[in-house]
Amino acid sequence: MKKYNFYAGPAILPASVMAEAAKAVVEFEGIGLSLLEISHRSKEVVSILDEAQSLVRELLGLSDDFSVLFLTGGASTQFFTVAHNLLNADKKAGYVDTGSWSTKAIKEAKAFGQIDILASSKDKNYSYVPKGYEIPSDLTYLHVTGNNTIFGTQMHDFPETSVPLVCDMSSDIFSRPIDASRFGIIYAGAQKNLGPAGVTLAIVRKDFLEMTQRELPTMLNYNTHVQKNSSFNTPPVFPIYVSMLTLRWLKANGGLAAMAAKNEDKAKLLYDEIDSNPMFAGVAAKEDRSLMNATFVMAEGKEDLAEQFLADCAAAGCIGVKGHRSVGGFRASIYNAMPREGVETLVGLMKNFADK
């Protein structure tokens, strides 16, 4: 029985990418060694890094004003690295609080400068994305979270402001075209929509590299990694390689515009079923629903059937549909690599569940 991976992360990867990566584990491109055991200074690994950076630039339309870095520590490390590099006691940053990850980013940033929470959707358990809030012009940056995996909301339009944007795009990067010129820093843990756990992508506008006004630990200084091409220390070679293969796959399948169309189609299929099926109810505000993580619950009065539905999902090969432990319910993560047939299988299961 074919299984479909609806986990939020580490998440689904394209089948062709996994097949190619598996070959590299045994022997990389005929050199007689596994990719896992060759030097990060070798021409083979340098070539992987160069191609990965080039593909990031091409897919996102980045100008030469940006540096592309492959780091470690996940987005959680970027929460404090951003503020550590850009703020001091006299500088101020604005944050929009849309869920668990933005809350953590705010907590970490407060150690390095003045943090203003400009808007929050905590009042309704993060079921919507705030809009219409005032953005002071004296901010060093405005930090937003592109997609909220736990609560199933997504920022479909980024705030209009002259202030540079810093965005955590961990779970929706490369899922749609963006105007990269509006951002000062974009960062993303790979394990949701780019590659396996273990590497973090950071895209830093070069003028931001000049803003550091304090002595930084070497590994937390973006300049360190720019100057050493992401290889100041041993980088996570294999996760970078798998990410490079995924970027190749994205390009070969039409780029970000094509991905956006496919993602919108898959999400519509699933949300239409959630809205029309009497057994289920959506969680997020309709205008802010995520195209990456669809959250839903049993309809009122049918909560006792939740475990039966999850059992049916497992029996049908739909794996990872249980909601995050902090909110419960259900969550179907439908990242780039999720084929439409996977969503069709889940929708068919939901129809059958209502029928029986």
Residues designated as active site: 101, 168, 192
Lookup result for tokens 């309704």:
124
Strand intervals (E) in the chain: 4-5, 66-71, 92-97, 114-120, 142-145, 147-148, 153-154, 165-168, 183-189, 200-205, 280-282, 293-298, 318-319, 330-333
Identify the CA nearest to 41 among candidates 247, 237, 200, 199: 237
Burial of 117-132, coded b for 16+ CB within 10 Å and e otherwise, reads ebbbbeeeebbbbbee
Residue 227: helix, strand or coil by DSSP?
Answer: helix
> How far apart are the two ends of the chain, measured CA to CA in Å?
22
Identify the CA nearest to 169 among candidates 161, 178, 67: 178
- The span from the CA of 15 to the CA of 33, in Å, is 23
**What six digits make up the tokens of 30?**
């005929």
Angle between helices 237-252 and 15-26 (to 10 degrees): 140
**∠146-58-333 over CA atoms, to 5°?**
35
* Helices then strands, each counted (H, E), the chain: 9, 14
Identify the CA nearest to 174 among candidates 1, 17, 319: 17
Q: How many CB atoms lie within 10 A of CB 184?
A: 22
Strand intervals (E) in 11-146: 66-71, 92-97, 114-120, 142-145
Beta bridge partners of 329: none
- The span from the CA of 230 to the CA of 186, in Å, is 16
Beta bridge partners of 4: 318
